[in-house]
Amino acid sequence: MKKSLCCLALCGAFACLTAADKVIKLPPPDKTGGKPFMQVLTERKSKRNISDKPLTMQELSDLCYAATGVTRPDGRRTNPTARNIQDIVLYAAMKDGLYRYDPAKHELLLEQARDLRPFCGFQTQMHTTAPVVLIPVSDSAKMKAKRFPTDRIAVYAPMHIGFVVQNIYLYAASGGFATVVCGAVDTKKLAEEMKLPGDSLLYVTMPFGRE
């Protein structure tokens, strides 16, 4: 009895994806953990030696929260955006499918039940081994709708993506994970495969996992 209870507890803590779940309800993020901040800054680095070890649901939850989670009752996030436009959409390409993060509900929504990691970068071995490749995309239509000048959109979109990239780097450093931001990507092809709306701006991907 004791043994089976222990097994159940372990399964919960280390639950990983098996089939293409339509909605992955993430557990609440752990907002108290992590290394001291100055140590995290010092340990932030690009790591390309990423194994195929799966992330636990808790780690996936903490990762999405760190990247662009909601921190305040008014819906503001871990990443800043000009006029709080919140144009960043975080995608997670995993073996069983492409998911989109919904920060308000803290859920991952299935976009496509197929493995898009091979399209995520020219370092294909690294991208297809990592359990998750994060793709922060700017939905620039939001800025257009609010009449941001075109030259501002060109500056803000990559800047906004950069904040999310750094959040992911810092979470990786804090939790002892491996990640690297990759610009060596056929972004046009990836955007097509992801079936992104026309105003989406995609520049980089981040394979993420354990060493």
Ligand X SMILES: Cc1cc2nc3c(=O)[nH]c(=O)nc-3n(C[C@H](O)[C@H](O)[C@H](O)COP(=O)(O)O)c2cc1C
Query: Residues in the site for ligand X, rule: CB under 6 A?
Result: 45-46, 48, 123, 180-184, 204
Kindly tell me which of 143 and 172 has the beta carbon lying closer to ligand X. 172
Kindly tell me which of 56 and 123 has the beta carbon lying closer to ligand X. 123
Closest CA relative to residue 69, chosen from 90, 87, 85 = 90
Closest CA relative to residue 86, chosen from 110, 99, 102 = 102
CB of 179 to ligand X, least distance (A): 9
CB of 203 to ligand X, least distance (A): 7
Strands 97-102 and 178-179: unpaired
CB of 104 to ligand X, least distance (A): 29
CB of 126 to ligand X, least distance (A): 8
Kindly tell me which of 164 and 204 has the beta carbon lying closer to ligand X. 204
Which residues, in sequence order, are bridge partners of residue 205?
Answer: 182
Kindly tell me which of 134 and 182 has the beta carbon lying closer to ligand X. 182
CB of 173 to ligand X, least distance (A): 10
Closest CA relative to residue 70, chosen from 102, 35, 99 = 102
Instruction: Write the DSSP symbol of residue 114.
Output: S
**Sequence-distant (≥ 6) Cβ neighbours of residue 11 within 8 angstroms:** none
Kindly tell me which of 25 and 45 has the beta carbon lying closer to ligand X. 45
Instruction: Write the DSSP symbol of residue 193.
Output: H
Distances (CA, A) of 18 to 22, 36, 159: 12, 34, 35
CB of 165 to ligand X, least distance (A): 8
Kindly tell me which of 39 and 46 has the beta carbon lying closer to ligand X. 46
Question: What is the rounded CA–CA span in Å between residue 170 and residue 168?
Answer: 5
Question: What is the rounded CA–CA span in Å between residue 97 and residue 60?
Answer: 15
